[in-house]
């Protein structure tokens, strides 16, 4: 229920932020600062006529919006929204299963079924193309996302999301006496995995610049072309809920989850007795407001979604495939090998030597990878350049009755 309450805020935030970035006003009439605009839009969609086109597969047509919404709702079941001690330990996570990462991958992959069902059942070629694009896009980016999460599973030694969050409370880079927590985003391989996961996350939610399943300039509205009223609103809700839930997963795996700041307050208090009262206050402050910090990080991820939408144009389909298969997947696999090397070197030679070996090998690998990508791009297929001349510039004045070839609009 709290997630459904936050979703209208995300919709309002996107419209206001996009307006700010594009130097316009955005919604500002309904409620203070337009805060009630999502409520008005929901009421409008609820009372609109629900049209079902002739020739659709009725059962799948009705089922598709629910299938699209279900994975987004259930995705956060394994995410701990606060430290699993005290009262919060009884409430969160909803399901602290030993296969939390596999559950996330499974639920995220189910989301495409709603898109494919909608595209197939609509009896519309544009809808079908949108559904096919969504399925190909999921396959292309699910593998790299799985590799990025596998890196963090190897680092923490567990598939449980709660254990991954707890593992980030250890000292930075395993150096004893350091009061900074080792959030995965602060490690070299964790930072690379975070970037890969971020790109795959945007692609899996079909957000710009990966919104080819909708592509209004090509496919009218893509897979949901034939939907109206609350069925369309259900797809809309599923997209924003998926953004928010992926934001909580992203924050839990890479940004310390429910922890407010990457500081071990207990260790700091032990090292500085004079700061013990402040550390005790901050530790309680971080614990009791844990859900607020996690939600704040998730909303920060949503802001990133919006910023990217306002900045980058939509990719061509060949660019989409090349990025997934020829860039992200090799990078994710190489990063996984680097993590395996770090684990082995640290266990064999100790923390310092292990990190030194890992950093040198990672630098060499990234250099080879960058050179390889550059060579492949230079040898790649060069697309033919085409231009369209709408009006012949050599013709200055054209009569309405002129039938000469120069007067023909191409």
330-353 pLDDT tens trace: 899 999 999 999 999 998 888 889
Tell me how far apart the alpha carbons of residues 324 and 140 are, in angstroms, rounded to a whole number.
5
Average pLDDT for residues 54-71, to the nearest whole number? 85
Tell me how far apart the alpha carbons of residues 163 and 253 are, in angstroms, rounded to a whole number.
10
Give the percent of the chain with pLDDT over 70: 91
CA distances to 9, 42, 58, 129, 228 from 46, rounded to whole Å, are 19, 6, 20, 28, 10
For 366-391, give the DSSP string: HHHHHHHHHHHHHHSPPPPP----SS
Please determine, for residue 127, whether its predicted confidence score (pLDDT) is greater than 60: yes
**Radius of gyration in angstroms for the set of CA atoms belonging to the chain, rounded to a whole number:** 25
Question: Cis ω on the peptide bond leading into residue 209 (within 30° of 0)?
Answer: yes
Specify the residue for token string 């009630």.
36
Tell me how far apart the alpha carbons of residues 295 and 362 are, in angstroms, rounded to a whole number.
33
Report the SS3 class of residue 396: coil
Q: What is the pLDDT of residues 347-380, one digit of tens each?
A: 888 888 988 998 998 899 888 888 887 887 777 5
Tell me how far apart the alpha carbons of residues 244 and 6 are, in angstroms, rounded to a whole number.
9
Q: What is the pLDDT of residue 397?
A: 53
Tell me how far apart the alpha carbons of residues 225 and 64 are, in angstroms, rounded to a whole number.
13
- For the ranges 112-121, 144-153, 170-179, the maximum mean pLDDT occurs at 144-153
Q: pTM of the prediction? A: 0.86
Q: What is the pLDDT of residues 200-223, one digit of tens each?
A: 999 988 888 888 878 777 777 778
Average pLDDT for residues 70-96, to the nearest whole number? 83
Contact of 138 with 112, CB cutoff 8 Å: yes
Q: Which of 65-69, 266-270, 280-284 has the lowest mean pLDDT?
A: 266-270
Q: Provide the 10 A C-beta neighbour count for residue 97.
A: 16
- Of 257, 266, 311, the C-alpha closest to 284 is 266
Contact of 300 with 255, CB cutoff 8 Å: no
Q: What is the pLDDT of residue 152?
A: 93
Q: What is the dihedral of CA 69, 74, 75, 79, to 10 degrees?
A: 150
């Amino acid at each position: 229920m709290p997630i459904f309450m936050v979703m209208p805020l995300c919709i309002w935030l996107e419209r206001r932020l996009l307006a700010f970035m594009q130097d316009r006003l955005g919604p500002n009439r309904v409620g203070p600062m337009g805060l009630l605009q999502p409520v008005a839009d929901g009421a409008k969609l609820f009372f609109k006529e629900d049209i079902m086109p002739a020739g659709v597969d009725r059962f799948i047509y009705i089922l598709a919006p629910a299938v699209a919404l279900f994975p987004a709702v259930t995705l956060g079941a394994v995410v701990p929204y606060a430290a699993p001690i005290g009262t919060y330990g009884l409430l969160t996570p909803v399901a602290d299963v030993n296969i939390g990462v596999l559950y996330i991958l499974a639920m995220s992959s189910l989301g495409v079924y709603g898109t494919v069902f909608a595209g197939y059942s609509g009896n519309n070629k544009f809808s079908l193309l949108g559904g096919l694009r969504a399925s190909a896009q999921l396959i292309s980016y699910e593998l790299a996302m799985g590799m990025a999460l596998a890196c963090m599973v190897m680092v923490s030694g567990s598939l449980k999301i709660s254990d991954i969050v707890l593992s980030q409370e250890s000292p930075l880079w395993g150096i004893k006496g350091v009061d900074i927590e080792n959030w995965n985003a602060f490690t070299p391989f964790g930072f690379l995995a975070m970037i890969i996961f971020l790109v795959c996350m945007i692609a899996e939610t079909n957000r710009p610049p990966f919104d080819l399943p909708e592509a209004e300039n090509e496919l009218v509205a893509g897979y949901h072309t034939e939907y109206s009223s609350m069925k369309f609103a259900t797809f809309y809700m599923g997209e924003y809920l998926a953004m928010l839930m992926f934001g909580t997963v992203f924050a839990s795996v890479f940004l310390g989850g429910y922890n407010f700041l990457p500081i071990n307050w207990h260790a700091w208090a032990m090292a500085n007795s004079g700061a013990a009262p402040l550390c005790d206050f901050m530790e309680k402050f971080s614990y009791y407001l844990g859900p607020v910090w996690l939600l704040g990080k998730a909303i920060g991820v949503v802001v990133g979604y919006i910023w990217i939408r306002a900045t980058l144009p939509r990719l061509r389909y060949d660019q989409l495939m090349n990025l997934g298969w020829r860039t992200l997947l090799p990078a994710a696999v190489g990063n996984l090998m680097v993590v395996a090397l770090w684990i082995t070197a640290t266990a064999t030679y100790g923390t310092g030597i292990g990190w030194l070996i890992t950093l040198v090998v990672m630098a060499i690998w990234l250099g080879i990878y960058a050179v390889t990508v550059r060579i492949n791009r230079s040898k790649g297929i060069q697309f033919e350049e085409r231009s369209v001349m709408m009006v012949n510039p050599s013709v200055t004045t054209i009569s309405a009755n002129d039938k000469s070839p120069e007067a023909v609009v191409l």
